[in-house]
C-alpha cells in the first residue's frame, strides 16, 4: 500500500481546507509566508490528499501540486493564455472546434492545483461559469455539427449527482451529441467522495450506452495518486460503462522525470485508464515554478515512452494554444516540428510547421518559424548586395 492510502472498506467524511492556516503540517512561519500567495491565487485542499504528502520532504511532488509556493508570485504568463474568452458563445460555454463544445459546469474543484490554467475562475470577480445552462444547451441543440460535449470547470464531479445527472440528461436528449466527456481530478483528489455515492455509478450506467458513451478524462499527474481507493474508482467507472482516458501536464518538480512518467503510463494502462495527452503546461500567471521548456519536455516524453509497451504509448505531447491543439512531433539539432492536431480555423487543420530550435522556449509564441528565419537571412543578404 502506498504511503497515506485510505481504506475503501471504511469510507469517511473528507474534511476540506480553504485557508492555508488550516494546514497543521506547515509551520507558522511557512503559513505566514504563503498567505500573500493565497490572497492572489485561491487555496483549497482536503485531508485525504494532504495525507499522501511526505511532509519530511520539502520537494515532495504531491506537496508541490497542492501547497502554494512563493515562486507563484513571479510575474510570468497571463490568466487566459489560450484566449478562451474568444470562443465563449454563451455563459459558461465555449465552442472552439467545430465538433466539440465545452461547458464550464462549476467554478469549484475538490482541491486547487497550483499549476491550474483556469485559476481565474476561482477569483472573486469571475463570472465565466453559469448556474443555468439552458442557453448553452439550446446553443448545442441548434448546432448539429456538435458531436461531443466536454464538461469541465472547475470539476464537474464536485457537483451533486442529481445536478450532474440533470445536465447529462439534457445533453443525452440532443440526438446529434454522441460523446459526453467529463474532465475530473476528483478520482485523484478525493476518490472517497465517489466510492460513497452508489447513485453516481448507477447514473453513469444509465447514460453511458453501447452506442453513446460517457468518457471520463481523468487527471492523474503522478503515480502516487494511484491509491487503492483511486484504482477502485476507475474499476467501478469501467464497470458502469464509462471509458477512461488520462491527461496530465508536464510539471517541473512533479513529473518531469522519464521514470516517473513511464511508471504513470504503465500503471494507468494496467488499470484501464488510457494515457491520452501529456500537455505542455500553459504559461498561465502563477505557473512559473512548473515550467518545462519544449525541447526538454519532448526529450522527457520520448524517453518515458521507452519504459512502456505499445498500450502505454498512445498519448500525444501537445499544447492547448489559442489557435488549436498543437502536437510537438519532433526535435532535431536545428528545428522543432509541430502539427495541428485540432485547429480553431479550418485552414490550420493538420498543418505541419517547422520552427528554429530554441531550448529556452516554453510556448508556441516563443518560437520563430523556419521560413521567417530564412526570409530574414535572405533580406539581409539582399541588403548587403544592394549596398555593393
The share of the chain scoring above pLDDT 90, in percent, equals: 86
Mean pLDDT, all residues of the chain:
91
Strand ranges (E), 98-153: 100-106, 148-153
Give 234-288 pLDDT, tens digit per residue: 999 999 999 999 999 999 999 999 999 999 999 999 999 999 999 999 999 999 9
Q: Buried b vs exposed e over 101-116: b needs ≥16 C-beta within 10 Å?
A: bbbbbbbbbbbbbbbb
Give the other-Cβ count within 10 Å of 321's Cβ.
Answer: 21
324, HSE (Cβ side, Cα atoms, 13 Å) = 20
Residue 15 exposed, middle or buried by CB count within 10 Å (0-12, 13-18, 19+): exposed
* 328 sits in which H/E element: strand 324-331
Residue 380 has pLDDT above 70, yes or no: no
Distance CA 204, CA 208 (A): 6
Spatial CB neighbours of 60, under 8 Å, sequence gap ≥ 6: 53, 54
Listed range (2-16, 133-147, 179-193, 281-295) with the worst mean pLDDT: 2-16
Contact (Cβ atoms closer than 8 angstroms) between residue 112 and residue 66? yes
Would you say the pTM of this structure is higher than 0.85?
yes
State the pLDDT at residue 133.
Answer: 86
Q: Which DSSP string corresponds to 195-229?
A: HT-HHHHHHHHHHS-SSS-EEEEE---SGGG--HH
Give 3-43 pLDDT, tens digit per residue: 334 444 434 679 999 999 999 999 999 999 999 999 999 99
Please list the residues that pair with 202 across neighbouring strands: none
Separation of first and last alpha carbons in the chain: 76
Q: What confidence tier does 372 reach under pLDDT thresholds 50, 70, 90?
A: low
Amino acid at each position: 500500500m502506498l504511503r497515506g492510502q485510505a481504506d475503501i472498506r471504511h469510507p469517511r467524511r473528507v474534511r476540506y481546507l480553504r485557508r492555508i492556516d488550516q494546514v497543521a503540517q506547515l509551520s507558522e512561519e511557512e503559513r505566514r509566508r504563503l498567505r500573500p500567495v493565497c490572497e492572489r491565487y485561491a487555496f483549497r485542499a482536503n485531508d485525504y490528499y494532504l495525507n499522501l504528502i511526505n511532509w519530511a520532504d520539502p520537494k515532495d511532488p504531491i506537496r508541490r501540486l497542492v501547497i502554494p509556493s512563493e515562486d507563484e508570485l513571479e510575474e510570468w504568463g497571463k490568466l487566459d493564455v489560450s484566449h478562451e474568452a474568444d470562443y465563449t458563445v454563451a455563459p459558461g460555454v465555449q465552442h472552439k472546434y467545430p465538433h466539440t463544445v465545452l461547458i464550464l459546469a462549476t467554478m469549484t474543484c475538490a482541491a486547487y492545483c497550483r499549476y491550474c490554467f483556469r485559476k481565474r475562475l476561482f477569483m472573486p470577480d469571475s463570472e465565466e461559469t453559469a448556474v443555468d445552462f439552458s442557453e448553452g444547451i439550446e446553443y448545442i441543440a441548434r448546432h448539429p455539427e456538435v458531436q461531443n460535449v466536454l464538461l469541465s470547470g472547475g470539476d464537474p464531479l464536485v457537483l451533486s449527482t442529481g445536478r450532474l445527472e440533470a445536465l447529462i440528461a439534457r445533453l443525452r436528449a440532443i440526438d446529434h451529441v454522441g460523446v459526453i466527456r467529463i474532465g475530473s481530478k476528483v478520482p485523484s483528489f478525493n476518490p472517497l467522495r465517489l466510492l460513497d455515492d452508489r447513485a453516481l455509478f448507477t447514473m453513469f450506467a444509465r447514460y453511458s450506452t453501447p452506442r453513446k458513451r460517457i468518457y471520463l478524462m481523468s487527471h492523474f499527474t503522478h503515480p502516487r495518486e494511484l491509491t487503492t481507493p483511486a484504482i477502485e474508482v476507475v474499476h467501478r467507472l469501467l464497470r458502469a460503462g464509462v471509458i477512461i482516458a488520462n491527461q496530465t501536464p508536464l510539471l517541473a518538480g512533479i513529473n518531469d522525470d522519464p521514470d516517473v512518467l513511464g511508471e504513470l503510463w504503465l500503471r494507468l494502462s494496467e488499470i484501464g485508464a488510457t494515457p491520452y495527452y501529456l500537455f505542455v503546461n500553459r504559461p498561465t500567471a502563477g505557473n512559473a515554478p512548473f515550467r518545462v521548456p519544449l525541447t526538454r519536455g519532448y526529450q522527457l516524453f520520448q524517453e518515458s515512452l521507452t519504459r512502456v509497451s505499445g498500450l502505454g504509448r498512445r498519448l500525444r505531447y501537445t499544447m492547448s494554444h489559442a489557435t488549436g491543439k498543437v502536437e510537438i512531433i519532433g526535435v532535431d539539432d536545428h528545428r522543432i516540428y509541430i502539427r495541428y492536431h485540432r485547429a480553431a480555423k479550418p485552414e490550420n487543420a493538420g498543418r505541419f510547421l517547422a520552427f528554429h530550435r530554441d531550448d529556452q522556449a516554453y510556448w508556441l509564441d516563443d518560437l520563430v518559424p523556419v521560413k521567417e528565419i530564412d526570409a530574414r537571412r535572405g533580406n539581409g543578404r539582399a541588403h548587403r548586395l544592394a549596398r555593393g
